[in-house]
Structure formats: structure tokens, C-alpha cells
Structure 1
Amino acid sequence: MSRIIMLVPLDEKVSLTTVSLSIISFLNKKFKKNFFYFPIINLCFDNTLYIIKKHFSKSIDISQGVDFLKENFESNQYFSLIDKMSKIFYDKRNLNELIFITGIRKNQHIYADKINCDIACNIGAEVIFLENLQEYSEELFKKKEEKINCFLKEKKYKNILGIIFNNINSPFIKFNNNFLDNLNILRNTKKNLFKNKFNRYIFLKNHLLNNIVFIPWNKSLIKPFSIDICRFLNAHLIKIEKIKNIFIKKIVIFDKNYLVLKKQNYSNVFILVDFSRVKELISILSKKIKKEKISGVLLTGVFLLQKNIIKLLDFLINKKIPIFFTKENTIEVLTKLQTFNFSLKKQSIFYIKKVLEYISRFFDKNDFFIIQNKKINYKINYSPKRFCYQLTDLSRKCNKRIILPESYEPRILKAASFCYASQISQCVLLGDPKIIYSIAFQNSIELNKNIEIINPEFVRNKYISRLLELRKNKGINENIAEKILKNNTFLATLILESGQVDGLVSGAVNTTADTIRPALQIIKTDQSNSLVSSIFFMLFPDKILIYGDCAINIDPNSQQLANIAIQSSNSAQTFGIEPRIAMLSYSTGYSGKGVQVEKVRHATSIVKTIKPHLIIDGPIQYDAAISKKVAQLKTPNSSILGDANILIFPDLNSGNITYKAVQRSLNLVCLGPMLQGLKKPVNDLSRGASVTDIVYTIALTSIQSNY
């Protein structure tokens, strides 16, 4: 399974492109990783993709990205893009050792912070934050730290590797200068404002994040070159054999006051001149050109480049001075230049490597950027989107037949239609085809003709003898059997028992008892289980918790509670989740006494005896089970350390109330109840289940039938 690392900018003016390329270059050299690079947004002014394609394409697999700018935040299209990204990363999980993502800049989207957080949490990415630092001072650092602390309280990132402070002491941070002002800053800044003797550990006494990289601003790496300027302006080059790509210190406008400019020092100057004044310019330059290196000349207002103009420019061409032309006038050119970005441009590989080597050298001093060389178990850190995608993906591979006895319910028909279109499973509808198609038409549901429909009137009598055989000890006769089989759930359960389908999903209309009773009487438990229990997959924004048993067993004893815990751990492993079990109670450890507490304590002891390898603790309170801070206070020696992902409730009362309160209060997707312990999978739906809930329950059932 590949690791996913995401670089998230927290502010503007952080040089996201430069740092991203430096990370890729550093890791590529240091560890020779097989990369997949994925920018969330690929815009025309972002040179990252161009540079990677040109200079790093042999070792890095790249994507064009997904454009979040076109969709409304939290719209259906927005969530579809999140799903699309989850699918991309899931497909790449075994092809690349490392997936590297660059987040959205704050100036690209008003909700950039929220989108970056949504993506990171849903794909289970490890996050490196990128921030600037105007001054290299402890006071300013503390202010930044407070700002980041508030940000993290609002945005619930889970896997944070550390933070990179870039452009420290950059004069560009303080002001939103225009292009000409920035050139003046570069020209007048004598040296980098960076104290080499600065002790970085002053900042690390009570630091918010464990790993911090400090990268000072470097004047020598921010040099606008003539070719970059003209590419930005879409100006055309008058071709010469060899271009002197000299960096620009100053821009001079050659206008009416050109006589004043005779005293101008033209070293590293880029000249803007209206083509009508070319003769005057050449006249002046011919006297100074021998001792100065001009960065370039841009002819403005040129609609047609005539031969006589080129001949006039022979003097400059022979001196290997880059000459460009554009139809825009000088004012239009200056206006456009105000948005010029002083970030890394499409320079030569020599210049690019110089910049990347400078940035990368600061990574060598920080262990965190070696990605800590530790094995991270992604089974524990499954994100909800990734988990849901795996459900549908595994279900497609299983290709099982799932019968739906409540086929007159529009939500069931919508789910069946979606499953068919997405090839999640082969849904089998039980009901009169005429009624089913009529309901579908009334609710604008496109029900494909290839979806199988079983008319109960045509098959009911075939199962009477089998029902009599299975229930012979209960003294039922043929008349009673005929009445029982008029219930579609009973009939569907017998169809499942006969092997014609692989699983059953019901409960959108019927009660839990109506769904489970036929399964207990006909399917029954398998040899390794003495009871049937249930679990819910609670899909929180940044994690998945499993609740059990919240639907079946009213007041289980210690042995039954232990069985529920073991069944739940087996189910978790089926879906790729490493179990960390909390046996819940109103008391943690030995802080309280009572019959209910002792029941949980005894159940925990039974599980440890039967399955000594399982990570389990109990009795334990809910807050100590899921909060590391609370766990440190209440149970510092706990094996789950506040990181439980399976929570076993002591009775149905507490479990059912809790799952519904959490689901409705947080508006969570909640999958289940998934039944455990039956010979064949039968799963119950909540009567308030959404179409999404039903689709994922069908997928769960399909996967269950494969084990």
C-alpha cells in the first residue's frame, strides 16, 4: 500500500511550486521512491507539471489533477470530485510507493482550507503544512503558532508530519508590491536577512508540531529573466542563433524623455520601447553597448514585423541581445506585468537544480522529512471515502446476487438501479414486475430491463415443502406455510437458503424483528457461533468506528458479550480494519463497581483467553476509549490508548441510543446493522436508511457472502 503525503499551504507567498519540486527532488535522490504526483488543481500559471514532465518524468508518474474551482463547495458535484480522487488513489495504491499531492492555494478558492482538509481526511493523507515567516523572531513565531493552533482546532487533520516555514525574512511578504517595486527590492537588498547563528531549538520548547523546517529567503534565487518576462507577456522572439538569457534588475521605458536616459546605466536592464522610437534607442545604445549587458529589448505596439525593422535591429541582434515584440502598447504591457509571479519559472535545468538543491539542504537536517522510516498501518487509519470506495470495489469483484424483498419501496429501487449502473452487485427484486415498473416510473427511476425481478406469485409454492421440512419441529402445516410465505421477507430468506442468491437486504420498510426472525428460523447460525449479533460502521469525517451490538441482543451476559466482541473483530478484519476493541461501561478500570461493570470485566477476560492476540481493554468509558488525552488521565496503561475503533456496548439500550444519537446529531453515514454469525449473510436496514445507506449495505452483504 502506497503512502499518501499532502503538502498543504496555510498562507499565500509560500512558494508552493518551488517547495513541492524540492520535496520530490529530495525524496527521489534520497530514497529513489516510485512517485505518483497529483496536484489538486492544475492551472496554467502553475509550472510544476511542466518542470516535472521535462526534467523528472522518468521517475515520476504525474496526473493532470482535478479542478475544484468549477464546482460549488459542498454541492453534489463537489462530493463527486472527492469520490473521484479517492478512486484515483485507490487504483494507484499498489503501483506507486509514494503518492505526493499539492493542496489548493488560499488565493485559488475561498474555501481552500476546508477543501484541503476534506481531501486529506478522506484519502488518509499524511500532511505537511507550508507557511511563511516574515521575521526570524521568537515573538512572530509564537503568533504564527497560535494562528496554526486555532486553525487545527477548526480543521480536524489526523496525520500531521510537520510544518515547513519558507521564505523567512522575505521582503515580499510584508507588502503586496507591484512588479516594478519588487524589482527595486531585489536590486536594493544587499544580502539575505538571515541570522546563520539562529538557534532553531528556541522555537521547539513548547512547539505545536513536532517537526519544523526553517527555510530562509534567498535573494539570489529570485531572478526574473528576460525570456520568462516575455513568455509571461506572450511576446514573440526575433530569433537569433544564441540568446543571452540575462536576469533583469530594472525595467526602463524608452519614451519622449529619451535624452534624459542617455545617462542611464543599462546593465541588466530590460527596455520597453515603442517600435517608432527604435532609431533613437539604437543611437544611444551604440555608444554604451560595449561595456554593458542588456537583459533584453521589448518592442511594443508592433502589429506587423517588417523587414526594414529587423534590418534596423541588426546592431542589437549581432550583439546577441534578446529582442521581442508584441502588439500591445507600453501601458498595456506594464499593467499586465503587475501580476507577474516571482516564483520558479521554466528556466534551464541548471537553474532549477540550483533552486531545488538550496531548498533540499534544509530537509537533511530534519528527521521528519525522511518520512520517519516507520511502517504505518493504513488499516487503522482508513478514511471514510477510502473505506466506501473499497466496499464498492470489492463488491464489484465479488459479483454476488443480493435479493431485495421490499421492492415496492422507491429507495430500494433507486439503490438497485445504482448498483446495476455501477456494477456493484446483481440485485434481485422480489415483487410483481408491473407494480415495480409503475413505482419506478412514478418516481422517475430508470430501472434497467436487465435487473432481475422474481414474481412471488410464480415461485411461492415451490418453497412450501422446504419450509415444512425446516420447521417440522414447530408443528406447522401446509396452510400455515402458505400464509408464512405470503411474507416476502420469509420467501426471500428461503430463496437465499436454497442457494439461488448470495445474500439478503431488508428493513427499509419492515422492522428489525421482521428481517431477523426468518433468518434465525431458516438460515440459522454457523457452527462457530452460538448467537447472532450486529455491528454498525459509523463513518465519521476523519475515521471509522464500529459499534456493536446495537440492534439484536437486549442484555447479553458475559459470554455473549465476549462472542459479540470476537465476531466484531472478525468482521473488521474482513473489511481491512485492524481491531482495537473497547468493552464499554460506565466505569473505567477499577474506578467503579456493580453487576454491569463486572459483566464487562468478565467478558473482557474471556476474549483475552480465547483470542490473546487481540488488542482489547475493558471495562472502559467511551471518552477514554476514543480520546488519547482522556486515556492518559484515566487509563495511561491501556492497550488501546484512546484509539479504539470497535466499541462494544454492554446492552442494547445503551448501544441503540448511542448510535442513533451520534448518527442524527452529526448527520453521519451509518452502515448497518450488519448481522454476524449467520450461515449466509442477511442484513437489516434502518427504516430511515438513505439510498446511499442501502447501496453500501448491499455492498457489505456481497462481500460477506464471499467469506
Structure 2
Amino acid sequence: MSRIIMLVPLDENVSLTTISLSLLYFFNKEEQKNYFKSFSYFPLIKSDNINFIRKCFSKKINILDDINFSKKIFNSYKYSSLVNKIIKECFNREKMNELILIKGINKEEHCDADQINFDIAQNIDAEVILIENLKELSLEYFRKKEEKIHFFLQQKKYKNFLGVIFNEINSPFIKMKYNFIDKLTILKNIKQSTCIDEIKKKFSFNSFFTVIAFIPWNKNLLQSSVINIFKFLNANLINTISIKNTFIKNITIFDEDCSIILKKNYTNTLVLVALSRMEIFFKTLRLLLKPKEIGAILLTGVLKINKNSIELLKFLINQGIPIFFTKQNTIEILSQLQKFNFNINIQNKVFIKNLLEYISSFFNKNSLISEKNKTTIDYKKTYSPKNFCYRLKKLSKRKSKRIILPESYEIRILKSAEICHRLGIAECILLGDPKKIYNIANQNGIFLNKNIEIINPFLIRDKYISRLLEIRKNKNIDEVFAKKQLKDNVVLATLILESGEVDGLVSGTVHTTANTIRPALQIIKTNSIYSLVSSIFFMLLPNEVLIYGDCAINIEPNAEELAEIAIQSADSAKIFGIEPRIAMLSYSTGFSGSGWQVEKVRDATSIVKRKRPDLIIDGPIQYDAAISKEVAKLKTPYSSILGSANVFIFPDLNSGNITYKAVQRSTDLICIGPMLQGLKKPVNDLSRGASVEDIVYTIALTSIQSL
């Protein structure tokens, strides 16, 4: 099974790319190779380093490089499309024993970075590692960072928080707007003092989060090679001989005052020379005792090099000094250099290996690879809304079932049928006059593929009369009454389903719940293993999917019926990959209250435990104790669900219907259902206010329900 880790930066100055590559390097080491067979790397902002990363890791890593959230508006259509793409990629690799590393976004890259990172992490069920810096190596400063992290986690309640990596410890560049020349000066003069033993000594205490790594800033890992600088500037090389990989420690602009120039030390120096001053520079250079010590020369403002200039350059070329030229003037070059990245030398593989080795050496192996994190261990699975919806479509596509839609003159139904056909979610069968259906579709810009089957009810009704009479013979209906009933397309569609010509039925956009369910109860009837039909709603909360039952069918179920609703709901949850943890809801937890309503729930819980000892269930229990671990510790410390219920069984329709509508409307969440359970064949009801998206998901549910 794949493992998904997402890196979430809390600041701009954390060297996120370096940390990302170091983690890949760490997991790809020989001693960790047995954990993962393959690796994937998904940066959320498109990077120029992608090609180098491919070279560095050879074919061992798959990179999703067409994802770019930098200009996408949060919650826009394009944004949702990218999130869905990541979910799809992660879903497709679910059983590959693969490490998927997601590189998050910082606030400098997107103003909604925190929310985007949270949204993606929740939707892909990622293990989250926060990345933060430490400007000062002191306990007081660490406490400030700890408070910041605590506040952040209160705002963004990540459901799978792995720990924190502190990088750039004691870096002089954190939150300081040094220019290129200042940075070179610091790198040249600063002394390296931070050591890992000092860090461990200062921070040998317990915190509310796991520290995965303390990584000291190391000036030796911030290099500015000649090659990198000139590739960054997109300058042109004059001398074609092999370029020495000199590291630049100084930068200077050529000045015509020779007395000043002669006093300067040009060792490892990048000299900017305007082409107009080249002859003066050449004469001055001859006065230098050691011209070979010059790091490199960049000629600025070069539109064309004349023969005289070429002759002057021959001397420098013979000295082996790297010489480049650019059309840009000196001021433009200095401005461009302010964006030069000192943190990673993307051309030098040896340097990269040393860098990744250095960073990964600080990782706490027990925090990253422990018994609970091994890919052979099954996780307690929860699904985010987008993840769950994607899985519905995927599971439905695998089933490829025939779902009949009797309300085929409704625009939303036609749009949904078109989407389901295009995405392969299900084979939708439209019931209605083909000419009328195509007219409605054309008038509303809906393209109905010719492969979408349309059944004309006027041509087939009579052949179902005898079957309807047989099914309802106990009601003593006659042929006239049967013909009248068959004029209702929902009744006709239900008979088509009963005959086995289709696999499921979805209705309700223009019919009441009773009009959809009554024919199903009369014609399809209840599954032999059940005594009733009930319903569930899938409540798509931001962090997980909860199941509410029964909020649509049974008004006042007794203990036996309530137990059956719980069993049906648990079995339905398993169909959709949700491991049920059932809460039998009441206004009382355990034995804190009494009354016939509480006793009914207590009896129902006992019946479920007796009939299905394999199910995790608790009741009677209040909603807060069922969903909150903190409340559960106080009210029911020995509960089998321990505040982590995901299937909630309400004691009656009154409480269930009120609750689901209150939660749905107050939080503006997606609510899929009601999904009927207990019938021999799947029939599902739609709300008359259902959106096209709701209908598509209900069609998918119905397809998955069918055998």
C-alpha cells in the first residue's frame, strides 16, 4: 500500500526543495529500499528543477510536473480540477507500495497557501510534516516557534500530523533582504559554529509534537559557482575551452580608476565589465600580478563584438578565465542577481549528493519509519469529501452497471446521463419519448451520445401488465388498474428493474420520496435477509465522511428495527470502503440517563452485538461522546469506538431528519442520499432540489450497490 507524505512550509525561509529531495534521498537509501518499490514526487508549484531531479534520481522517481497552483484561485473550477488530478494520481498508486511525496506551497508563492495545503492534505489523507526555520538556537526562540505551530494546528486540524522539521538553524539569511553582494560577503566571512550535539543538548525535552529533524545552517552548502551564475543569467560563453567550476566569493564592477583597482583582491571574484570599457580593463588587467585568480568576467551591454575586442579577449582566454557576455546592462544584471538561488547548486551532481547526505543525516529514522508507518500495516481509513467522491466514480466505473432514469424530460437528469456516459460511471438508460428527449437536450446545449440508450415507454408498457398483475395479485388489482399504474414512468422503470433488464433505478427530481419508494416496496420488495428498508446519508465533512441513518424512511423504529438499520448501515459502509464504527445515538451516554427511549437504544445495541459480533458498536451514546475523543475520555472511557464513530444511527426519523438537515445547511457541506438499503435491487431517491453533481453521485452509488 502506498504511503503519502506532504511537506507543508510554515515560512518562506525553509529551503523546501532541498528538504523534499533529501527525504526522497533518505527513503531511497539502501537500508530503506525494502519499504518502497517506487517513488513519486508531486510539487504543487511548477519548478525549473524538474529535469535535474529526474537526472539526479534516474528512473527511480515519477514526477507529476503538470501541476501548478500558483495562479489558481482557491475553490475555483480550475483549482478543483487540479485537486482531483492529484487525488486520481494517488488513488491509482494506492496498491503499488510506493512513497508519494507532495511538496506544498509557501505564502510567497500563493496568498492562500495555508488553506490550499490543508485542502490537499485532507483530500489525499496525507501524513503531514511541517517545515519551519530557527533563526536563533535558544530555548526561548524555540518556545516562540512552538506557540506558532500550536496556533497553526488549532486553525488547521490536520488529521494525520507526523511531526516538524526545523531547518536553517542559525541562518543569517532568515527574513533578511540581503542583496547578492551582501550574501557573498557573509558566506566569505561568517564562521560556522552550530553543531548537532549543541542542538540535542538544548532541545532534549518533550514537546506536543515530534521533532523529525533539527538541521543546522551550513555555509559550505550555499555555493555560487561560475556555471550556475551564468546559466541563471542566460549569458553567452565566449571561450569554448573546459570551464573550471570556480565558486564566486566576491563581485565587483570595473572602475576606470586604476589606483583603486590595483589595490583590490580579485581572487574568486566575478568582474562586471561594460563593453565600452573593455580596452581600459584590458590595460589595467596586464598590471595585475595574478590575472589567473580572477573568478570570471561578464561583459555587459554587448550587442556585437568587433575584431579589436576579440583580439583583446584572446589574452584572457589563454589565461583560462571564464568569459561570458550579455545584451543586458550592468544595472539590469545586478537586479537580476538578487533572485539568484544560493540554496541549491542544480548543476553539480557531486554537490547535490553531499547536500542531500548532509540534510538526511539529521532525520530521525524512528519518526519517519516506525512500526505504525510501515506500508504493510493497514490504516484506519477515513475519506475526505473529494477523495470519497472520486472513489465513488472509480468504483462505479469498474462495475459498469445499467441504471434506469425514469425522469428523462428533466434537464438535470439529461446532463447527468451525459456526464456518466462520458466518464464511464454507469450506462444510463433514459425512459421517455426519444424525440422529446433529444429536443430538450438540443435546446439546453446537452450533447447526448447516440450510444446512450433511450426506451420509449409507449412501446413497452403493455408487455409488463401481466407481470404487474402477478406481483400484486394479493391486492386483487385488475388489468385496467395495472394499465393506469404503468402510465407512471417510475412504476414502469421499477418493473424493468425487477425483470433484470437494468441493474438499478434513480428517481426523485420531480417525484416525491413516496412516489419513488412505494413502487420499489410493492414490486422489488425487501431482501429476504431483512425485514425492512431503511436509508443512509453520506455526510461529506471537511476531514472525513460520516454516515447518518435512518433519516428518511422509518418514523419510529423499535429496538429490533433499529438494530437492523444499524446492521444495514454498517454493511453499506463496507461496500464503499469505510470500516464502520457505529454509534447508537441517544440523549444519554451509557447509564447516565433512563427512560424508554434510552432503553430502546440499549436493547438495539445488544441485539447488534449478539447478531454481529464482528461490528464495532457502542450505545446508547450522545453525539459529542461518539465523535470527540476528549469528551469520550470523560463520559465513556471504555467505549469501543473511543470518540471516533463514523456511522451514526438515530433513534427515530424526527431526530435524524432534523440533524442531517441542520448539519448540511449550517455547514454548507455536500450530502449524498438518501441511499436506500434492504431492497432486493438498488433503488435510490433524489431530492427535488438535487444538483447535477448530486445526481451523478447518486447514480454512482446505485451502480456500486448492485450485485
Q: TM-score, normalised by structure 2?
A: 0.95
CA distance in 2 between counterparts of 1:514 and 1:558 reads 28
The code of the aligned residue for 1:433 comes to P
Could you report, residue by residue, the CA deviation over 1:207-265 in whole angstroms, capped at 9, with x for unpaired residues? 33233421111111112111111111111122343322111111011122343111111
For 1:3, the equivalent position in structure 2 comes to: 3
The answer on whether the counterparts of 2:625 and 2:635 sit within 8 Å (CA) in structure 1 is yes
For 1:36, the equivalent position in structure 2 comes to: 40
The code of the aligned residue for 1:42 comes to K
The code of the aligned residue for 2:446 comes to I
Question: CA 1:153 to 1:340, structure 2 compared with 1: closer, same or farther past 3 Å?
Answer: same
Question: Mean Cα displacement is larger for which, 474-483 or 365-374?
Answer: 365-374
The answer on whether the counterparts of 1:192 and 1:217 sit within 8 Å (CA) in structure 2 is no
Sequence identity of aligned pairs in percent? 63
For 1:613, the equivalent position in structure 2 comes to: 614
For 2:696, the equivalent position in structure 1 comes to: 695
For 1:259, the equivalent position in structure 2 comes to: 259
For 2:467, the equivalent position in structure 1 comes to: 466
Q: Is the aligned partner of 1:670 residue 2:671?
A: yes
For 2:398, the equivalent position in structure 1 comes to: 397
The answer on whether the counterparts of 2:122 and 2:384 sit within 8 Å (CA) in structure 1 is yes
CA distance in 1 between counterparts of 2:586 and 2:378 reads 28
Instruction: Give the SS at the match of 2:174.
Output: helix
1:581-620 to 2 correspondences below 5 Å: 581-620=582-621
Distance apart, 1:201 and its partner CA: 6.9
The code of the aligned residue for 1:112 comes to A
The answer on whether the counterparts of 2:9 and 2:16 sit within 8 Å (CA) in structure 1 is yes
For 1:16, the equivalent position in structure 2 comes to: 16
Distance apart, 1:470 and its partner CA: 0.4
The answer on whether the counterparts of 1:417 and 1:447 sit within 8 Å (CA) in structure 2 is yes
For 2:521, the equivalent position in structure 1 comes to: 520
The answer on whether the counterparts of 1:36 and 1:96 sit within 8 Å (CA) in structure 2 is no
Q: Is the aligned partner of 1:246 residue 2:250?
A: no
CA distance in 2 between counterparts of 1:147 and 1:261 reads 50
For 1:278, the equivalent position in structure 2 comes to: 278
The answer on whether the counterparts of 1:505 and 1:685 sit within 8 Å (CA) in structure 2 is yes
Distance apart, 1:152 and its partner CA: 2.2
Could you report, residue by residue, the CA deviation over 1:403-432 in whole angstroms, capped at 9, with x for unpaired residues? 111222222122112112222111111122
CA distance in 2 between counterparts of 1:482 and 1:653 reads 37
For 1:563, the equivalent position in structure 2 comes to: 564
For 1:549, the equivalent position in structure 2 comes to: 550
1:124-139 to 2 correspondences below 5 Å: 124-139=125-140
Distance apart, 1:455 and its partner CA: 2.0
CA distance in 2 between counterparts of 1:704 and 1:643 reads 25
Q: Is the aligned partner of 1:537 residue 2:538?
A: yes
Question: CA 1:144 to 1:168, structure 2 compared with 1: closer, same or farther past 3 Å?
Answer: same
Question: CA 1:168 to 1:260, structure 2 compared with 1: closer, same or farther past 3 Å?
Answer: same
Could you report, residue by residue, the CA deviation over 1:531-553 in whole angstroms, capped at 9, with x for unpaired residues? 11111111112211111111111
For 1:87, the equivalent position in structure 2 comes to: 88
CA distance in 2 between counterparts of 1:675 and 1:366 reads 46
CA distance in 2 between counterparts of 1:288 and 1:281 reads 11
The code of the aligned residue for 1:703 comes to I
Instruction: Give the SS at the match of 1:457.
Output: helix
Unaligned runs of 5+ in 2: none
Question: Mean Cα displacement is larger for which, 598-607 or 491-500?
Answer: 598-607
Instruction: Give the SS at the match of 1:220.
Output: helix
Question: Mean Cα displacement is larger for which, 193-202 or 73-82?
Answer: 193-202
1:379-528 to 2 correspondences below 5 Å: 380-528=381-529
For 1:660, the equivalent position in structure 2 comes to: 661
Q: Is the aligned partner of 1:98 residue 2:121?
A: no
1:138-287 to 2 correspondences below 5 Å: 138-193=139-194, 196-199=197-200, 202=203, 204-205=205-206, 207-287=207-287
Question: CA 1:204 to 1:682, structure 2 compared with 1: closer, same or farther past 3 Å?
Answer: farther
Question: Mean Cα displacement is larger for which, 239-248 or 631-640?
Answer: 239-248
Distance apart, 1:307 and its partner CA: 5.2
The answer on whether the counterparts of 1:245 and 1:295 sit within 8 Å (CA) in structure 2 is no
Question: CA 1:230 to 1:119, structure 2 compared with 1: closer, same or farther past 3 Å?
Answer: same
Distance apart, 1:304 and its partner CA: 2.4
The answer on whether the counterparts of 1:17 and 1:343 sit within 8 Å (CA) in structure 2 is no
Could you report, residue by residue, the CA deviation over 1:47-106 in whole angstroms, capped at 9, with x for unpaired residues? 2x2332112023112221412233322212221221122112222323451111101232
The answer on whether the counterparts of 2:5 and 2:126 sit within 8 Å (CA) in structure 1 is yes
Instruction: Give the SS at the match of 1:581.
Output: strand
The answer on whether the counterparts of 1:405 and 1:489 sit within 8 Å (CA) in structure 2 is yes
Instruction: Give the SS at the match of 1:172.
Output: coil
Could you report, residue by residue, the CA deviation over 1:497-534 in whole angstroms, capped at 9, with x for unpaired residues? 01111100011222222111111111112222121111
Question: CA 1:636 to 1:292, structure 2 compared with 1: closer, same or farther past 3 Å?
Answer: farther
The answer on whether the counterparts of 1:430 and 1:455 sit within 8 Å (CA) in structure 2 is yes
Instruction: Give the SS at the match of 1:56.
Output: helix
The answer on whether the counterparts of 1:141 and 1:203 sit within 8 Å (CA) in structure 2 is no
Distance apart, 1:195 and its partner CA: 7.3
CA distance in 1 between counterparts of 2:445 and 2:333 reads 56
The code of the aligned residue for 1:40 comes to L
Q: TM-score, normalised by structure 1?
A: 0.95
The answer on whether the counterparts of 1:489 and 1:506 sit within 8 Å (CA) in structure 2 is yes
Q: Is the aligned partner of 1:122 residue 2:126?
A: no
Could you report, residue by residue, the CA deviation over 1:607-656 in whole angstroms, capped at 9, with x for unpaired residues? 11222121111111111111111112211221111111111111111111
Distance apart, 1:284 and its partner CA: 4.0
Instruction: Give the SS at the match of 2:335.
Output: helix
Question: CA 1:281 to 1:190, structure 2 compared with 1: closer, same or farther past 3 Å?
Answer: farther
For 2:685, the equivalent position in structure 1 comes to: 684
The answer on whether the counterparts of 1:379 and 1:577 sit within 8 Å (CA) in structure 2 is no
Question: CA 1:495 to 1:42, structure 2 compared with 1: closer, same or farther past 3 Å?
Answer: same
Distance apart, 1:170 and its partner CA: 0.7
Question: CA 1:65 to 1:345, structure 2 compared with 1: closer, same or farther past 3 Å?
Answer: farther
Question: CA 1:366 to 1:377, structure 2 compared with 1: closer, same or farther past 3 Å?
Answer: closer
The answer on whether the counterparts of 2:213 and 2:364 sit within 8 Å (CA) in structure 1 is no
For 2:68, the equivalent position in structure 1 comes to: 67
The code of the aligned residue for 1:8 comes to V
Distance apart, 1:356 and its partner CA: 0.8
The code of the aligned residue for 2:301 comes to G
CA distance in 1 between counterparts of 2:509 and 2:205 reads 55
CA distance in 2 between counterparts of 1:225 and 1:507 reads 68
CA distance in 2 between counterparts of 1:307 and 1:551 reads 90
The code of the aligned residue for 1:671 comes to I
Question: CA 1:405 to 1:68, structure 2 compared with 1: closer, same or farther past 3 Å?
Answer: same
Distance apart, 1:292 and its partner CA: 6.5
Instruction: Give the SS at the match of 1:197.
Output: helix
Instruction: Give the SS at the match of 2:167.
Output: strand
Distance apart, 1:150 and its partner CA: 2.4
CA distance in 2 between counterparts of 1:524 and 1:200 reads 71
CA distance in 2 between counterparts of 1:453 and 1:200 reads 75
How many equivalent pairs are there? 702
The code of the aligned residue for 1:20 comes to S
Unaligned runs of 5+ in 1: none
CA distance in 2 between counterparts of 1:371 and 1:327 reads 59
For 1:312, the equivalent position in structure 2 comes to: 312
Question: Mean Cα displacement is larger for which, 180-189 or 162-171?
Answer: 180-189
Instruction: Give the SS at the match of 1:489.
Output: helix
For 2:25, the equivalent position in structure 1 comes to: 25
CA distance in 2 between counterparts of 1:201 and 1:502 reads 66
Distance apart, 1:286 and its partner CA: 4.3
